Structures are given as C-alpha cells and as structure tokens.
Structure 1
Amino acid sequence: MIKIIESEKDNLISAKISGIISKTDVEKIHSLIHIIIEKGNKVDFYFDIHDFEGYTLQGFWEDIKVDSAHISDYGKMAFVGDKKWQEWVAKATDFFSSSEVKYFDLREKEAAKKWIAQ
C-alpha cells in the first residue's frame, strides 16, 4: 500500500510504503508524476518503507512501465527503511538512473527529510 504524505515542496512525492503495492497504488503515484513534470520540474521522491511485502504482479508491471517512461524525469530520491535489501535497492536505483539517490536508516529519518527538502 502507498499512502501519500503531504509535502510543502512542489516537486516532491512523499509516501509511506507498507504491505503489498498494487497497480492502483502505482497509478496514484503516476498521476502525481504527471502533475509535476507538466510544470517543467523534475520529480523528487521520499519513501518511508515499513513492513513492505512486495507487489502484486500487476503492480510490479505497472511500476516498471512508469519508471521506464519517466526515469529521466526523476530528481532526488530518499529511501528510508530498516532492511539491508532496501539499501541495496536504493544503490541499484542510483546505479541505473541519473537521479541522486540516498538510503537512510529509520534512525536517520529527520536527516532524510532535510536532505530531500534542499
């Protein structure tokens, strides 16, 4: 499930991610991406990941389609979590994109918020 968190930064999509991500969840993010890029901005992301279990098959496929269509539209990405594999995902995202990507442990949540707000 993706729960959107209010943000004061116009080009930031901030979300809590938990449970299983569905196609509907990804579509919700996709519409927000379009709102930001239509204003001529890069899209920054702040993801607070807790008890994440994975994707539905349709959700995973939709996420791949959205990312492949918009990877050049992405700016900074902050991943906040408590699992080693989440840190690896952030590193892989950094490697495969031109975005500036950082992983923060849950204890560093405030630092992540400060970094993504800059």
Structure 2
Amino acid sequence: MQKHGISIGIERIGNTFYMTLKVTGKLTHEDYQTITPMIDSALKGVKNAEILALIDASELEGWELRAAWDDFKMILKHGSEFKKVAIYGHKQWQSSIAKVGGWFISGEVAFFEDIKAAMSWLNQGLEGSN
C-alpha cells in the first residue's frame, strides 16, 4: 500500500493568513475531492488578506491525470488570493512545476530545496517579521 495525500494547516496572524500544504505520494482525484472543499471553506470570505503558502512537496511523486486537472482548477479558482507561494522539494521537475504554477498565481512563486530558506522568503517584507 502506497502512502499518498494532502494535509493542510491554516493560521491567521492579523490580516495575514499562513497556509501550509504537505503533499505525499501520487495524488488522486479522491484526494482533491476531500481537500478542495476544505480550502474553499478556509478561504471563503477572506478579503484584502495576505495569503502566504508553503507547499512541502518533498515527498510528492506526482499526480494521476484527473488529479492534475483538479489541481489546475484549484489554482485557477484561488490563484489571485495568494501573495506568496513557496514550494519546497528536491526534484528538478518540481522546480519546473513551480514555474508553470507561477503563471496562474497573481503573487510570487518560488521553489526552494531548503525549508528554512522557504520560510524566510515567505516572511520577507511583512510587518513584524524578523
């Protein structure tokens, strides 16, 4: 049995929302049927907020075709709501996916092979950040 799935965390500090996503294995359409309503609900009613996201793709192996389409639809729906998205991983194809994803997100997208560097980048320029 292969491990796969998405876990999500959302924290609000003032007008800034921090979203963390941990993706594992090869994602399926069923994974997105579970996570999409959670993301929709978490972002519903968020107006003029800064949404910063950290996507931990260090254990991501890929998507089933239908799941890749689900991911694309989610980016189209919520892409304008993100100020910064840091993608953490270790594979060259993940860096390429980050670049393509950046075309559909209104904020900045960057790929990192060091999670501390990803977190530091997310917090750059925010009030009260170190």
Question: Equivalent of 1:18, from 19, 24, 28?
Answer: 24
Q: Residue type matched to 2:20 in 1?
A: S
1:21-80 CA deviation, whole Å, 9 max, x = no partner? 123433415532442351212432211112322223332222222222222222210011
Question: Equivalent of 1:70, from 78, 102, 107?
Answer: 78
Identical-residue share of aligned pairs (%) = 26
What is the distance in 2 between the residues matched to 1:110 and 1:30? 29
In terms of fraction of residues, the more helix-rich structure is 1
What is the distance in 1 between the residues matched to 2:32 and 2:120? 25
What is the distance in 2 between the residues matched to 1:97 and 1:6? 19
* Structure 1 unaligned regions, length at least 5: none
1:36 aligns with 2:35: no
Count of residues paired in the alignment: 116
Aligned pair in 2 of structure 1 residues 64, 93: CA closer, same or farther (>3 Å)?
Answer: closer
RMSD: 2.4
